[in-house]
């Protein structure tokens, strides 16, 4: 419980650092109280996206949609903060919404991103592969740096990550990652142990760099606001009929 109290206090301190108005901070804390009325405070680190969807649906049955959307926005920020301070590895809010506009759901956004006509060069192949893996797997952006060229198994149609198991890839993702890997191997300095995602200078991309690539692509769509969170895309198409099957991680 002490850890939960600490994270709540840290979030409050964070809001003060951002110089939000006192009334805004009070509103945020009331939203946290509402969250804790559904989710035991000691369960913050383990609450799932399915449980949070149930909470949202319950709220929609008793509150105006505008109020629910505002609450979702605040709780998204809170769980993102929980990730920043190490309480969680991901957010249970990622699969709920990218923004209030239903036409910009994670699934709609993912399909639009995959339809972008990427340039046929190093950067284009790389960025398309990043988007495909973000949409069709639950690989954390921080773990993208662990992927090497040998992580891609074209024959088995999978991407393998040593600390998470393997992810089946649908045809769209296979093509995107396959083109990138093939292009990488054209470089005489590349080996199967070479990092899959690198800069033009050859350095492994950091989590921040991966997120920036995804976010910039999202902004290209024009219908996503500037505060869009790249993490909303993770696994957006895992249950898509032409995407990876349910139970996408195998040991």
Write out pLDDT tens, residues 161-173: 876 678 888 888 9
**185-199 pLDDT, tens digit each:** 988 778 889 999 999
- For the chain, helix (H) and strand (E) counts, in that order, are 8, 3
Range with the lowest mean pLDDT among 48-52, 179-183, 202-206, 231-235?
A: 231-235
Residues 242, 170 contacting (CB under 8 angstroms): yes
Average pLDDT of 225-233? Answer: 64
Q: How does pLDDT run across 2-11, given as a tens digit for each residue? A: 455 588 899 9
Span of 101-115, 209-223, 228-242 with lowest mean pLDDT: 228-242
**Among 25-29, 67-71, 187-191, 225-229, which stretch is predicted with the lowest mean pLDDT?**
225-229
CB 231 within 8 A of CB 91: yes
* Domains, the chain: 2-96 (1.10.150.130), 106-233 (1.10.443.10)
Q: What is residue 80's predicted lDDT score, i.e. its pLDDT?
A: 82
Dihedral (CA of 85, 89, 92, 93) sign: positive
Q: What is the pLDDT of residue 1?
A: 43
CA distances from 226 to 55, 92, 203, 223 (A): 27, 21, 28, 10
Contacts of 30 (CB under 8 A, 6+ apart): none
Residue 224 has pLDDT above 70, yes or no: no
Residues 6 or more apart whose CB falls under 8 angstroms from that of 190 comprise: 149, 184
Query: 197, 205 in Cβ contact below 8 A?
Result: yes
Determine the distance from the C-alpha atom of residue 127 to the mean position of all C-alpha atoms in its chain, rounded to a whole number.
15
Strands (E), the chain: 152-153, 158-161, 165-168
Q: Which residues contact 13 (CB under 8 A, 6 or more apart)?
A: none
């Amino acid at each position: 419980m002490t850890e939960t109290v600490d994270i709540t206090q840290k979030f409050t301190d964070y809001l003060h650092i951002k110089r939000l108005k006192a009334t805004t901070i009070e509103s945020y804390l009331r939203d946290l109280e509402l969250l804790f009325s559904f989710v035991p405070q000691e369960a913050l680190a383990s609450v799932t996206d399915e449980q949070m969807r149930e909470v949202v649906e319950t709220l929609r049955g008793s509150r105006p949609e505008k109020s629910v959307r505002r609450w979702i926005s605040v709780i998204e920020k809170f769980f993102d903060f929980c990730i920043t301070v190490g309480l969680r590895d991901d957010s249970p809010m990622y699969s709920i919404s990218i923004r209030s506009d239903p036409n910009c759901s994670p699934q709609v956004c993912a399909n639009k991103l995959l339809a972008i006509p990427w340039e046929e060069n190093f950067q284009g192949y790389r960025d398309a592969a990043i988007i495909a893996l973000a949409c069709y797997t639950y690989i954390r952006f921080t773990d993208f740096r662990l992927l090497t060229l040998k992580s891609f198994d074209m024959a088995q149609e999978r991407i393998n990550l040593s600390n998470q198991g393997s992810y089946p890839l649908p045809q769209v993702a296979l093509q995107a990652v396959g083109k990138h890997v093939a292009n990488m191997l054209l470089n005489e300095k590349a080996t199967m142990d070479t990092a899959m995602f690198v800069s033009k200078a050859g350095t492994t991309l950091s989590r921040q760099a991966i997120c920036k690539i995804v976010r910039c692509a999202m902004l290209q769509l024009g219908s996503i606001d500037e505060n869009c969170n790249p993490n909303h895309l993770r696994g957006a198409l895992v249950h898509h009929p032409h995407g990876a099957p349910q139970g996408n991680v195998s040991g």
